[in-house]
Amino acid sequence: MTTFQKVALLGKGALGSVLLTELIKAQYTVTVLTRSVISLGDLPAGATARQVDYASVSSLTTALQGHDIVISTVSPSAVPLQKPAIDAAIQVGVKRFIPAEFGAMTSDPEGKKPPFHAPTVEIHEYLASKADAGEIEYTVFAVGGFLEMLFTMPLVVDFEKRAVALHDGGVHGFSVSRLSTVAKAVVASLGKAEETRNRLVRVHDTVLSQRKVYDIVRKWTPGETWTETEVDAEVAVQSLLGQLQNGFNPDLVPALFVAAFLSGKYGSEYNDVDNELLGLGLMGDKEVEEFGLALR
Got the DSSP string for 269-282? Answer: S-SS--TTTTT---
- Asked if residue 23 belongs to a domain, the reply is yes
The DSSP 8-state label assigned to residue 141 in this structure reads E
Nearest one of 54, 249, 278, 67 to 177, comparing CA atoms? 278
CA max distance for the chain: 62
Q: Are residues 158 and 182 in the same domain?
A: no
The pLDDT tens digits for 226-276 are 999 999 999 999 999 999 888 778 889 999 999 999 999 999 999 999 999
Q: Are residues 193 and 87 in the same domain?
A: yes
Q: Are residues 257 and 239 in the same domain?
A: yes
How many residues make up the chain in this entry? Answer: 296
Q: Are residues 126 and 211 in the same domain?
A: no
Q: Are residues 169 and 26 in the same domain?
A: no
Q: Are residues 217 and 291 in the same domain?
A: yes
- CA distances to 156, 214, 231, 263 from 159, rounded to whole Å, are 9, 9, 18, 21
Q: Are residues 104 and 193 in the same domain?
A: yes
- Asked if residue 274 belongs to a domain, the reply is no
Domain that holds residue 113: 6-144+178-202
- Asked if residue 50 belongs to a domain, the reply is yes
Domain holding 154: CATH number?
A: 3.90.25
Question: 9 by DSSP, 3-state: which?
Answer: strand
The pLDDT tens digits for 64-112 are 999 999 999 998 889 999 999 999 999 999 999 999 988 889 888 898 9
Q: Report the domain count for the chain.
A: 2
Q: How confident is the model at residue 137 (pLDDT cuts 50, 70, 90)?
A: very high
Q: Are residues 32 and 121 in the same domain?
A: yes
Q: Are residues 10 and 150 in the same domain?
A: no
Write down the pTM of the prediction. Answer: 0.95
- Asked if residue 79 belongs to a domain, the reply is yes
- Asked if residue 211 belongs to a domain, the reply is yes
Helical spans, DSSP H, in 93-195: 118-132, 147-152, 179-190
Pairing of strands 206-209, 173-177: antiparallel
Q: Are residues 170 and 236 in the same domain?
A: yes
- Residue 23 is predicted with a pLDDT of 97
Nearest one of 97, 281, 106 to 184, comparing CA atoms? 281
Phi-psi region of 120 (alpha: psi -120 to 50; beta: other; left: phi over 0): alpha
Q: Are residues 81 and 63 in the same domain?
A: yes
Q: Are residues 196 and 66 in the same domain?
A: yes
Phi, psi of 180 (to 5 degrees): -65, -35
- Residue 1 is predicted with a pLDDT of 61
- Asked if residue 273 belongs to a domain, the reply is no
